[in-house]
Structure 1
Amino acid sequence: MTLEHPKLTLTRRSLLGGAAAGAAMIMLHPFAARAAANQAHLRIMETTDIHVNIMPYDYYADKPNDTMGLTRTASIIDKIRAEAGNSMLIDNGDLLQGNPMGDYMAYKKGMKAGDMHPVMKAMNVLNYDVGTLGNHEFNYGLDFMFNVLGGANFPIVCANLTKGKLASDPKQDELFFKPYVILDKKIKDGAGNESTVKVGFIGFVPPQIMVWDAKNLEGKAMTRDIVSAAKAWVPAMKEAGADIVIALSHSGIDAAKPTDGMENASLYVASVEGIDAVFTGHQHLVFPGPKTWDGMQNVDAVKGTLFGKPAVMGGFWGSHMGLIDLLIEKDGKSWKVVDFTTEARPISHRDENKKIVADVTDKPEIVAAVKEEHEATLAYVRTPVGKTSAPLYSYFALVADDPSVQIVSNAQTWYIKDMLKETPYKDLPVLSAAAPFKAGGRNGADYYTDVPAGDIAIKNVSDLYLYPNTVRAVVITGAQVKGWLEMSAGMFNQVKEGSKDAPLLNNDFPSYNYDVIDGVTYEIDLSQPAMYDKDGKKVGDSAGRIVNLQFQGKPIDPAQKFVVATNNYRAGGGGNFPEITGDKIVFVAPDTNRDVIVRYIVQEGTINPSADGNWRFKAMPGTTAVFETGPKGKQFAGDVKGAKIEDAGAGENGFAKYRLVL
């Protein structure tokens, strides 16, 4: 189809429309302002990956957050609708799980037929036209999902989730939901004449739900390849009279060679004949947008196209509203797309000091609709969900194996072993990499994890895991494990044997890049220079600091393969660790590291965070080094495994100084 329109050279922000009544002037989209008598502007708005983040509130940290919340996204809907001639609102999935409100509704309050979930309360206020499923809809089981979605006053579509075995013809599959809907949308054209456009919406969910939620779906459901389902159903939609076909693809954008059951298949969905526009999600990214998509064939991240067709991904947690604006033209009795624009409009921005500034306020109707559940969730996150048999603290995380890092590794290992048990990697040994996020430094002498033994609440998890990362697994060799640890060992200054009170910590090295790898044992030889600088560049001809690296009591085999559980930042190359790049990723988890830690605590009931002492410094007789930590750590100094620590007096800026006897 032709996607250029010579008349429309203005941008949305350069055109003002409406009556000039004081300062209250509506900024019309060019399509709405310039549509001819046989043309109309149709704007479709997307929310995606809300993950129960209705309110602009981080329940883990127990404080407001201006970067998130459907109440904020909702507040710009009226304005966005006013810019358009005609509009529709869709949701692209991942509604029901992802923050403590979701867990509260599933585990504490529960849902039965007729109950109204807060997500549905909010969405019904906003009058959505249609939605599809995300992979997280299945986390609490099918009954829970159906009870929640039963409260929607809009249709849910999904063309690749079946009740049983796949039929030879996808159109013969027995589906849980309608594969598509065709909505009669009354519109006004450029001359003000009213017409009806038949807009078809088809939905897709990642086939990987059969792995991620096997315990909830095995024997009850099956999934079909997304693109195969699209190729089967889109012609049926056209035959049924759809003028415009819109794909709701809860699937990201990946330019790799297409494979059956591909997780991030939205690029190839766009290539299916008959589809006019694609709404994407799942990856928690913004499209159109910079850098992420550079070099991907058939992807235009500036114009916002996949195979030349308009596409958008509206961030996550309500951070953006995805917009696809279509100029449609009547061709005989039907309508066709003749031009388009795409945009992911944010709800906040960073100012010149990199501080978050809210661009919108809450929509009061949504706040009122979920007030009861919000307050109940606050009580829930402040209520114990388990116990810890020992204190969780990070005061000595940079000088010895540490309980706050240990519990993260325990949870990651537990999770990845379960996720990979039915995959080709099930027989590989699983290691876990985790770093201390709260370790003083420039954030001050109180910036440490400190959770006492006893009851542990969900909000304590933000003390253990500061960032909303998601879990990843990489497969690397024993040699690459050593390289990973060599990079981490840049945390320390070189210490000459026999020195007294040498400064230990390299203050230019961030603590979040000091990864401890659990599942192997090793020593760090401080007498040797670092092999890598803080930017991951190899320096000099150092043989390295990591010595006595062993797996299961034997020297590690450099060629042996290991699965390492980590996070999306590290697995994607964050920190510039040697050879740890995106091509090593074998598993992209649908869950955040925080969620995994909470689930682990809930399952265990009482966790044992005691560090196993799998790493230490190599002995250097007659040598001591000094470091600073929070003064509240004094009570734990005698309990640190694998290290002899002595009080060395007061440090600067409220810190306490300690001596490490090497």
Structure 2
Amino acid sequence: MTSPLVRLRLLETSDLHMFLCAWDYYRAREDSTAGLTRVASLIRAARAEASNSLLFDNGDIIQGNPLGDYMALPGHLQNAGGHPMFRAMSRLGYDAATFGNHEFNYGLAFLEDALRSADFPFVCANAEYPDGTPLVPRSVVLEREVTDEAGQPHSLKIGVTGFLPPQIMIWDAMHLTGSVQATDIVEAARRVVPALCARCDVLVALCHSGISATPRQGGDENAALYLAEVPGIDVVFTGHTHRVFPGPDYDGLPGVDAEAGTLAGKPAVMPGFRGSHLGLIDLDLRRKKGGGWIIEKSRCEVRPICRRESGAVVPLTQNDAPTDATALPAHTATMAWMAQPVGMTSVPLNTYFTFLQPDPCVALVNAAQLWYARPLLARSDAASLPLLSAAAAFSTGGMSPDAFVDISPGPLTMRDLANIYTFANTVSVVRCTGAEVREWLERSAIIFSQIVPGQTPARPLIAPDLPGYNFDIIAGLTYAIDVTQPPRYAPDGSLLNPDAGRIADLQFNGRPVDPEQSFAIVTNNYRAGGGGHFPGTGTGHIILTAPDGNRDALIRYVTEHRTVAPSLTPVWRFVSPPVPTTVSVEIPAAAARLVRSDVLQRDGEGSDGRLRYVFSL
């Protein structure tokens, strides 16, 4: 007699980043590329196809757009009767979730208040209070009645545990130091999995961490593959890096089957970000003689909410009405908040040409940070230090092909300033030597490809798969970038080419920067704490953590000055190669009207509907 077969479907969302609605708050228009309301329709369809299913979320839920920021303002959570994202997820019937690193951006007290709206358990095995008490349960066993292929009922125990990047202790040190401690993902798994495995039939790991096949160091940010190697874990849900798995992003990595969707032989998925995809794992469970179940077969896939055709977005699903209804009050209030006027700009503000020339948005943020920090430092031991400001453009097309800032001269609203400064960072100041400032800029300059002088055809200027928010511009200095040199640093901060140097002619007040001179650099808490692996940062360098956010400083600056006109005096330039050299760049079609024909020449079609141009160094 054949033993019973149960088909179990496990569904995952991850990195929703508060995209509850299919709405772009920065442009006040529908966004078919994002939203729990869109992926909710996929969830309902996926459930309808399966007799037995569970739904999980993998973290980075409540922060990431203006709706999240609005809910975090004092009193708004209480006035709304709870957190709309958790209420919507409860209404959708989530079975369990874990934390991502961004859950802590608004502080522990806000997170604890928001969690009261969640009618499903949160689990996390590698974060705890200083006395060893876990923030939330380290694991949970979900008992579900399932039916086998013959229609017979069975009781199934699904064990769930969760993990977050231990780097939260760096990225949100101001909120967590002395209040929380985070540990290595794999070590935490080795502590919790054996006992959990003994209590369940299937063990699911919710891992807010990416996939890396480089040798494990301990304390790794992207540890999903190492976690999958822990005995007893059956399924790994992954995320954090905003990519899609199974898929070509992870082709060729040892221990990874990017087509079948397995890590160390175990089924795994990563469903993009902002609700772009639904992760789905189907398990065939066969009842063992004497009790218990084994995974006989698995299948992994990711289902998108849209696709792109010739640069245009084609929706593949529609809004989910119950989710929209839950979101509507907070969504409406956020739109009204975003429409509030703040000031004026006398010049266009856009991020189309961030990697080619002075960026007015970065210049505005740097001016605001300097304006905000000066009076604070005037009352500190750092008052005598020369003050610099480091900022980067956040919307440079990395999140989606049309994710740029584009503001015409005229009124500035909260929406505009939130678009310029999208993250919920806090103003921080670090102390650096001139030598460390140079190395900071070297790390920033890895955004560029290495260019061979005179090489044809023109090579892309921007290196692939590197985030634009790590291209810091340090105002108060002038310098040149030599892209014919190899990058000095790797993205993880390790020294890649010790003899290379892209930063040239580094000057302060018209004189070469003294390597021994000390500077104060105003930045954000993410960078100050070591986010992005920049020399000159880390807790030992921090001399001030301000009470206000960087966006708040920007709002105050615009409000105070009423009309702003960011300086476009170049902070940096490219070193001219020894022979004429052109490079290629891609910009969205919307930017074509701003192109100076004496600088950029059209050179055909780019990817994702963008236009390709060549640029002479």
TM-score strictly above 0.5: yes
Contact 2:8–2:284 under 8 Å retained in 1: yes
Letter matched to residue 144 of structure 1: F
What's the TM-score, normalizing by structure 1? 0.65
Structure 1 residues 295-314: aligned runs within 5 Å: 295-314=252-271
Structure 2: give runs of 5+ residues left out of the alignment. Answer: 373-385, 425-435, 452-457, 486-501, 525-531, 539-547, 575-589, 595-617
Give secondary structure in 1 for the equivalent of 2:113.
helix
Give secondary structure in 2 for the equivalent of 1:154.
coil
2:194 aligns with one of 235, 255, 259: 235
Q: Distance in 2 between matches of 1:483 and 1:324?
A: 39
Q: Distance in 2 between matches of 1:280 and 1:72?
A: 20
What do residues 155-203 of structure 1 show as CA deviations (whole Å, max 9, x unaligned)? 11111111115xxxxxxx3112111111111111111111011110001
Could you tell me which residue of structure 2 aligns to residue 424 of structure 1? none
1:82 aligns with one of 45, 48, 55: 48
Could you tell me which residue of structure 2 aligns to residue 191 of structure 1? 150
Superposition deviation, residue 556 in structure 1: 5.7
Could you tell me which residue of structure 2 aligns to residue 354 of structure 1? 311
Structure 1 residues 284-363: aligned runs within 5 Å: 284-290=242-248, 292-331=249-288, 332-351=290-309, 353-363=310-320
Instruction: Please say if 1:224 is aligned against 2:183.
Output: yes
Could you tell me which residue of structure 2 aligns to residue 598 of structure 1? 551
Could you tell me which residue of structure 1 aligns to residue 127 of structure 2? 161
Q: Distance in 2 between matches of 1:251 and 1:379?
A: 35
Give secondary structure in 2 for the equivalent of 1:80.
helix
Instruction: Please say if 1:393 is aligned against 2:348.
Output: yes
Q: Distance in 1 between matches of 2:395 and 2:59?
A: 33
What do residues 295-318 of structure 1 show as CA deviations (whole Å, max 9, x unaligned)? 322111111111111111111111
Structure 1 residues 216-295: aligned runs within 5 Å: 216-239=175-198, 241-290=199-248, 292-295=249-252
Q: Distance in 2 between matches of 1:177 and 1:325?
A: 28
Superposition deviation, residue 149 in structure 1: 1.0
Q: Distance in 1 between matches of 2:24 and 2:203?
A: 37
Q: Distance in 2 between matches of 1:288 and 1:486?
A: 27
2:569 aligns with one of 602, 613, 633: 613
Contact 1:300–1:306 under 8 Å retained in 2: yes
Contact 1:476–1:561 under 8 Å retained in 2: no
Superposition deviation, residue 120 in structure 1: 1.7
1:459 aligns with one of 386, 410, 416: 416
Contact 1:267–1:306 under 8 Å retained in 2: yes
Q: Distance in 2 between matches of 1:188 and 1:457?
A: 52
Q: Distance in 2 between matches of 1:130 and 1:483?
A: 39
Q: Distance in 2 between matches of 1:108 and 1:261?
A: 34
Structure 1: give runs of 5+ residues left out of the alignment. Answer: 1-34, 166-172, 416-426, 469-474, 491-505, 534-544, 568-581, 589-594, 619-628, 634-662
Q: Which range moves more in the overlay, 553-562 or 73-82?
A: 553-562
Superposition deviation, residue 238 in structure 1: 2.2
Could you tell me which residue of structure 1 aligns to residue 428 of structure 2? none
The count of aligned residue pairs is 501
Could you tell me which residue of structure 1 aligns to residue 12 of structure 2? 46
Distance 1:233 1:452, change over 3 A: same
Q: Distance in 2 between matches of 1:160 and 1:101?
A: 28
What do residues 520-543 of structure 1 show as CA deviations (whole Å, max 9, x unaligned)? 655889xxxx9879xxxxxxxxxx
Structure 1 residues 26-105: aligned runs within 5 Å: 38-105=4-71
What do residues 206-231 of structure 1 show as CA deviations (whole Å, max 9, x unaligned)? 21112222222222211121111110
Could you tell me which residue of structure 1 aligns to residue 135 of structure 2? 176
2:337 aligns with one of 355, 380, 390: 380
Letter matched to residue 132 of structure 1: T
Superposition deviation, residue 457 in structure 1: 1.4
Could you tell me which residue of structure 2 aligns to residue 640 of structure 1? none
Q: Distance in 1 between matches of 2:440 and 2:183?
A: 39
Letter matched to residue 265 of structure 2: G
Give secondary structure in 2 for the equivalent of 1:145.
helix
Superposition deviation, residue 151 in structure 1: 1.5
Superposition deviation, residue 109 in structure 1: 4.4
Superposition deviation, residue 391 in structure 1: 3.5
Letter matched to residue 224 of structure 1: T
Q: Distance in 1 between matches of 2:143 and 2:395?
A: 55
Contact 1:49–1:93 under 8 Å retained in 2: yes
Distance 1:611 1:251, change over 3 A: same
Give secondary structure in 2 for the equivalent of 1:111.
helix
Could you tell me which residue of structure 1 aligns to residue 491 of structure 2? none
Superposition deviation, residue 256 in structure 1: 2.2
Contact 1:72–1:363 under 8 Å retained in 2: yes
Q: Distance in 2 between matches of 1:197 and 1:395?
A: 54
Contact 2:62–2:68 under 8 Å retained in 1: yes
Q: Distance in 2 between matches of 1:180 and 1:603?
A: 44
Distance 1:597 1:215, change over 3 A: closer
Structure 1 residues 483-494: aligned runs within 5 Å: none
Quote the sequence identity (%): 38
